[in-house]
Every structure is written in C-alpha cells, then in structure tokens.
Amino acid sequence: MRKELLINNDWTFYYFGEEDVQLHLPHTWNNIDGQDGGNDYRRGTCVYKKNFTAPEHASDERVYIDFAGVNASARVILNGQLLGAHDGGYSTFRFDLTDHLKEENELVVEVDNSVNDRVYPQKADFTFYGGIYRDVKLLVVHEKHFELDHFGGPGIAVNAEVKEGNAEVWVRTWHNAENGSVAVTIRDADGNVVATGEGTDTKILLENVHLWNGIEDPYLYSCEAVLSVNGKEVDSVKTNFGARYFHVDPQKGFFLNGKSYPLRGVCRHQDRKAIGNALSKEHHEEDMAMIREIGANTIRLAHYQHDQYFYDLCDKYGMVVWAEIPYISEHMPNGRENTISQMKELVTQNYNHPSICFWGLSNEITISTKDKKDMLDNHRVLNDLVHELDPSRPTTLACYAMCGHFNKSAHISDLVSWNLYLGWYVPGMFLNDLWADFFHFVYPDRCLGYSEYGCECMPNLHSSHPKRGDQSEEYQCKYNEYMLKFFEKRPYLWATHLWNMFDFAADARNQGGEPGMNHKGVVTFDRKTKKDSFYCYKAYWSKEPFVHLCGKRYIDRAETMTSVKVYSNCKEVTLYANGEKVATQTGDKVFNFRIPLHGEVKLEVVSGDLRDEGVIRHVDKPNPKYKLGKDGGNGGNWT
C-alpha cells in the first residue's frame, strides 16, 4: 500500500545565481522584498537542490514526487533528466521519478516567478511570491494504483445528493489496473462503517444522512476506496466528504439544506509578515480561529487555489467557500490555456470539499483588458468547462467596480458579485444603496453579491472627525458600520465578503506610511493586532458574548468632550470613567457615549461579567503621530 515521505528539510537554495543557502521548506525568496514596496522586489528564476537517498520500494512499485505549491512555474530535474514542467503557482502537481532513480539522487527544481504573458497572475493587487512554499513529499505506490497523473487530483471524487433524509453518494475512482476491482467503504464521523459499494463508478445509498450544516454542525463522513488486483489489495485512497444541498434565490439569498442561510464573511490572502506565503499548519489554524471568532460563515479564498489544509479546515469548521483561479485584472490572449489548466486543477483537486459551494472564474478582469471579445470567449469556455467538470456547483465571478451593470462579462457566470469600494475610493457610502438597488431592479432574477468592500486602516492613525482617505481606525469603523447595516436591509444579496480579513503584501502600493502593503484587513499583517473593526463584525455575527472598548490606541485627544464607542452583542452595556458610572445603554451592537475629558481618564465598559478597559487623556494639541504624514503615500488604488 502507498507510503508518504515528507522531504522538506535540507535543501540548497541558489538566489539568482548568488551564493547558496541551506534551508528547509516551505520557503519563498520574496518574504521581505515582496512586502516593503521597494524597487528591489525580485522576480525571476531561482534554483532549489536536494540530495536524497531513494526510498525503499519493490520492483513492482513506483515513486512519485508531489509538490503542493511552487510559484509560479517549475522545471523539475532528477539526476540530470528533465521530468517535466508545471505552470501555475497554487496547485498540486506530481512527476514519476522511478525510471531515473538511483541509490543516491540529485533533485533540481528551477522556480520562476518572472514577468510573462502566459501564466496567471501577472497583474494584481498582491505580491507574487517566488519559491517552493508548500510541502514536498515522495509517494511510493504499487505500479497498479489510483490515478496520480490527472491534474494533481486524489484519484477519487465523491458527491452526495440529498433526497428526503437520505443521500445517494456517487463515488468515482480512476486507476491504471486493467483487471482491478474497487471496494468502497463509507464511515461516519466516529469511524463506524455505514455503507459499502463496489466499482469505479458506483452510487451508494446513505440512509438517515447526517447533513453538513455550515458552522452550526459541519458533520463529515469519510470514504475509502481500495484497489485490488487478482484478489490482492494494492492501493487505497481516502477522503472526507459532507452531505448538503443548497441553492441561491435572487430575492432571498443563499439557502443551505432548505433553510435561509445569509452568507456573511471575509476574503483571505495566504501571506504573513516576514514569512510571505510559506505558511505552516499552525499559521493556517490561527487564521481560521480568528475568522471563526468574528462569527463569519463564508470565506472567499482569493485570488488563487489555497493550501489543501486550509480547505480541510473550512470543511471541519463549516465555512461556505468561494474558490477561484488567479485569472485576474488583465486578460492575456497567450494565457488562455493556462486559465483552462488551472481551472481543471482547481476543480479536480478540490471536488470533494463540502465547504466549497462556488467556483470563481475571474476577478476584476476588465481593469485593463484590450481584447474584450477574446476575454468574453475565454469566460464562456471556462464556464462551460466548470459545468462539465462539476455540474453540482454554480459558477461566479468578481466584477471590477468600474464594470457597469450591463457589462457582458457580468452575465456569463451563474452568479455574480461586485468589488465595490463606494465610500472609500469614491465619496459617498450611500452610493452602495443606489448601486445595488438599481442592479436588483434592472435584473431581479440575477443573483447579486458583494465579493469585496472595505477601506484602508492603520491602527496607529486616529481622528475624532474621521474622513475618507485618512486611513484612521475610526473611519474604518464608520465605514464598516454603514456596510453592515446596508447588508442587513438587503436579503437578496447572496453573499458578502469583506476585503480583507488580514492585511497583506501588495508590492505596487504605497499607503499609510507603510509601502508594499494593503491595509484593508481587520487584523494586521503579523496577526498581532485586531483592529476595532474586527469587533464590529464580531458584534454583528458572533454568538459569543463580549464587550469591546474602541479607541484604546487613540489615547491623546485634544477635545474637552470626547466620544467613546463600544462594540458588543450584549443588549446592555455600562460605561465607567475613573470608577464613576457614566451611563447604561440598551442598544444593538454599537454603543456611543459622550464624556467630558480632563486629564487622564480610565475607561471601563461592563456587561454582566464581561468587561474591557482603556485609558485616554486630554492634551492641548492633537498628537501629530495620529495623522497620516506627507510621506504616507498616495492614498489611492494600486493601478
């Protein structure tokens, strides 16, 4: 039966032909220069080498190498022989090493993230980190085995169609054994066998099915397929799956398992400060914990295929996921083949995840596209391809803000969402009301969502009179309060995804006094600071009781009367100043107090056993550190 051997340790890295460095994977060479906004952001080809002893394997076994993510193109060479190449920085790919293996081996991986016109992404508001930034492992399998060469997939596809309390589980497997037989076993979450079947294409009845029901009850079954040849078991594959059904109504939004389930959540990029995209499992787990803390029930995993481990976490914790390929910002006629191969990999590798409910075709593709006819045709091809690969899930895409209601690209996919920053890049938060309601009026049968919205925020910048563009923590609060109320009034929006959960690197930007970054997150890039807006979302979405005193970083205030804001999902909060009760308010999510400010004031907010505190003080002049300086950047978009 198959064996796995992780080979992340002890690689030699050659940085643009310079002196070699010894390191362990995962690794990116842009963990610093891709995050500082400087001119030294290096894109090109670097080389990784590893010497290894061939794993033990019998004469009737094969040895594969499995790469979980290499950005963006890779050439893999073993003992001087080219095994193959792969274009696409976010998906799994494999090569068979067996015929070129020796007892001692030299593996060379040439990794290229240079500018070109054929591999996506090439133009976008995030850093394109070069490197082998996910796990690498060796697979030892019998020569007759489940498919390993088909778009990096697992060799098994499971789909559960729910009907009247039962589920018909469709299990398909692919293998290379001409006379092989396949036995399928389905187990419940406790490991008990609940159903069995036989064959490479079989449908198995699962009675009294336990549904995968989002964040309330993300129940998972497991499915194992065993391949036998001449009565001998030679290979097996196993995957988790969930039984659920859903639909989207253009008037009432998203429904999960027959019940209204408004999708309210966030977008996520996969990078971190000084780490880039070379994340550990612990990093993924911490990200998921914070997303769960605010009570989100959906994640748009932008703008590329994310780590399989994070999709697993989404399955485990009940997140409804929008998964997409990096077909973004600019259509490249020479890149059509790459969009197709990346889409085949995305769907094939992720088909079994119950969390994934939508396949994204593209993002803001109309920003700078010249050949619109070719672009539209590319979208139609992708849309048809997804329906062929997976008829059970709808397609969607994210439209650029300047892409109007009637733009043809907005009417190809099954669903559509818009990236709208009304109230940030343009004045007037009320424009969101006009824009969305007009689209819904003109296209009442078209399912509409918000794939991005948000505004920049530096947690060290503050204002008692926040304005658009000041990048203050207070304006981000003001903006998000408006948007959350706006969404509550519009049940027809099938999903809303905040841009972004976390600050992320964007080498082309220069904003907020910290170049090379997009600061629209409600958590900082290093995950150490939860901005006040984080708690605004928690107040709206989370059921975990809490109180949060806003403005704790806004200590120095030049006014003699000041505002104190509290976020809470409790119905009543009390504010104390220097131990004296100011007032008790009954309200809903956002509580605003006004207090006189003389000298230093210790604030404490209380609701039952819950409390939070901070200190503010009166100063004669505004603290200049709270204001964006002249060298703070252009304050505009990245394009």
Closest CA to 66 of 143, 149, 172: 149
Share of the chain above pLDDT 90, in %: 94
Is the pTM higher than 0.85? The answer reads yes
Rounded to whole angstroms, how far apart are CA atoms 443 and 432? 16
Q: Identify whether the C-beta of residue 512 lies closer than 8 Å to the C-beta of residue 531.
A: no
Q: How confident is the model at residue 134 (pLDDT cuts 50, 70, 90)?
A: very high
Rounded to whole angstroms, how far apart are CA atoms 108 and 223? 36
Q: Identify whether the C-beta of residue 43 lies closer than 8 Å to the C-beta of residue 141.
A: no
Decide which of 628 and 314 is more confident. Answer: 314
> CATH fold of 556-626, please?
Immunoglobulin-like (2.60.40)
Q: How confident is the model at residue 634 (pLDDT cuts 50, 70, 90)?
A: low
- Phi, psi dihedral angles at 100 (to 5 degrees): -115, 5
> CATH fold of 3-142, please?
Jelly Rolls (2.60.120)
Beta bridge partners of 168: 161, 205
DSSP alpha helix (H) spans, 390-512: 431-442, 473-488
Strand order from edge to edge, sheet including 561-568: 547-549, 561-568, 589-596
Mean pLDDT on 89-111? 98
Q: Please report the sign of the dihedral spanned by the C-alpha atoms of residue 113, residue 117, residue 118, residue 122.
A: positive
Rounded to whole angstroms, how far apart are CA atoms 124 and 217? 36
CB atoms within 10 A of CB 414: 18
Rounded to whole angstroms, how far apart are CA atoms 113 and 383? 27
Closest CA to 140 of 3, 47, 1: 3
Closest CA to 301 of 243, 376, 352, 355: 355
Beta bridge partners of 211: none
> CATH fold of 246-544, please?
TIM Barrel (3.20.20)
Convert the pLDDT of each residue in 219-242 to its tens digit. Answer: 999 999 999 999 999 999 999 999
Kindly list the distances between the CA atom of residue 490 and the CA atoms of 55, 209, 397, 437, 511, in Å, as whole numbers in the listed order: 58, 33, 20, 9, 32
Kindly list the distances between the CA atom of residue 361 and the CA atoms of 7, 116, 410, 414, in Å, as whole numbers in the listed order: 34, 21, 11, 10
Domain range list for the chain: 3-142, 156-241, 246-544, 556-626
Q: Which amino acid is at 581?
A: K
Distance of CA 363 to the CA centre of its chain: 13
pLDDT at 146 over 90: yes
Nearest-10 Cα torsion for 476, 481, 483, 488:
160
- The yes-or-no answer on residue 364 being catalytic is yes
DSSP annotation of 334 reads G
pLDDT at 638 over 60: no
* Rounded (5°) CA angle 476-478-482: 115
- Phi, psi dihedral angles at 115 (to 5 degrees): -70, 130
Rounded to whole angstroms, how far apart are CA atoms 84 and 187? 38
pLDDT at 633: 57
Q: Identify whether the C-beta of residue 394 lies closer than 8 Å to the C-beta of residue 324.
A: no
Closest CA to 110 of 46, 24, 176: 46
Residue 589, sorted as left (phi over 0), alpha (psi -120 to 50) or beta, turns out to be: left
> Which range, of 367-371, 471-475, 530-534, averages the lowest pLDDT?
367-371
Convert the pLDDT of each residue in 182-214 to its tens digit. Answer: 999 999 999 999 999 999 999 999 999 999 999
pLDDT at 177 over 70: yes
Rounded to whole angstroms, how far apart are CA atoms 186 and 240? 9
- Determine which one of 110, 330, 364, 474 is catalytic: 364
Q: How confident is the model at residue 286 (pLDDT cuts 50, 70, 90)?
A: very high
The CATH class of 156-241 is mainly beta
Q: Identify whether the C-beta of residue 153 lies closer than 8 Å to the C-beta of residue 130.
A: no
Q: How confident is the model at residue 64 (pLDDT cuts 50, 70, 90)?
A: very high
Topology alike, domains 3-142 and 246-544 = no
Rounded to whole angstroms, how far apart are CA atoms 440 and 543? 31
The SS3 of residue 523 is strand
Residue 513, sorted as left (phi over 0), alpha (psi -120 to 50) or beta, turns out to be: left
Mean pLDDT on 578-594? 98
Q: Which two tokens stand for residue 498?
A: 């905040």
pLDDT at 540: 98
Q: Identify whether the C-beta of residue 234 lies closer than 8 Å to the C-beta of residue 227.
A: yes
Distance of CA 62 to the CA centre of its chain: 34
pLDDT at 19: 86
DSSP string, 106-174: EEEEEEE----SSSS-SS-SS----EE-S-EEEEEEESS-B--SSTT--SEEEEEEEETTEEEEEEEE-
Q: Which two tokens stand for residue 618?
A: 């009166």
Convert the pLDDT of each residue in 320-359 to its tens digit. Answer: 999 999 999 999 999 999 999 999 999 999 999 999 999 9
Q: How confident is the model at residue 639 (pLDDT cuts 50, 70, 90)?
A: low
pLDDT at 297: 98
Q: How confident is the model at residue 308 (pLDDT cuts 50, 70, 90)?
A: very high
Q: Which two tokens stand for residue 159?
A: 């789909």
Rounded to whole angstroms, how far apart are CA atoms 433 and 403? 17
